[in-house]
Amino acid sequence: METIDKQQYTLNISSNLELSICVNKSNNFVLIGILCMAIAIFLALIVSFVLLGIKEGISFGFIISCIVGFLCSGYLVRLYLWNKYGKEVFIVNKNDFVMYYDYKLFKDSYRKLHFNSIQVYFEYNGVLMDISKGICCSRDEKCNSIICFKLDDEEIKSIGEIPIEVIINIGNQLND
């Protein structure tokens, strides 16, 4: 069993392969602004719903406005959670591939795929490269890339980047 834990990714290789790629964390000032805006919209809707509902009754237009406001507030909370805690999770078993986005409070875009063959690629200068070719990075050059899993005919690419050496290691582990 090999476990590598870095700030930007976690790789766990045992009977299966688990890769978690963390999202680049945003500025705390921006995150607080997003969260405050979501809370302000939510509270404004609750207060106006209570005040207008008591005095005048509730109209259809007001209900539609509340629904749109709640959806906007929910989107901002989701955006906050993704930028604060978000990570992509890839789990590869013998012939099953699972991926989802983890927001800490909930998981989204869960996909479980069955495959017969799997290949691993990395992106270098905008081109997908096979791991067998390797790459030589100079000290000044960025050696991080997205990882691409090709399951039979379907490609699944990550959003976040990890070191190319780790991608090559993952490919070698899956090919053994």
Q: What tens digit of pLDDT does each residue of 2-54 get?
A: 444 456 888 888 888 999 999 887 888 999 999 999 999 999 988 887 777 66
Beta-carbon contacts of residue 119 (< 8 Å; ≥ 6 apart): 130, 149, 150, 171
- What angle do the packed helices 28-55 and 60-85 form, to 10 degrees? 160
Element (H, E) at 144: strand 144-145
Return the SS3 of 165.
helix
Q: What tens digit of pLDDT does each residue of 57-102 get?
A: 777 888 898 899 999 999 999 999 999 999 999 999 888 999 999 9
Element (H, E) at 168: helix 164-175
Return the SS3 of 23.
coil
pTM over 0.85: no
* Dihedral sign from CA coordinates of 127, 132, 136, 141: positive
Residue 2's pLDDT is: 47
Cβ burial, residue 1 (10 Å; 0-12/13-18/19+): exposed
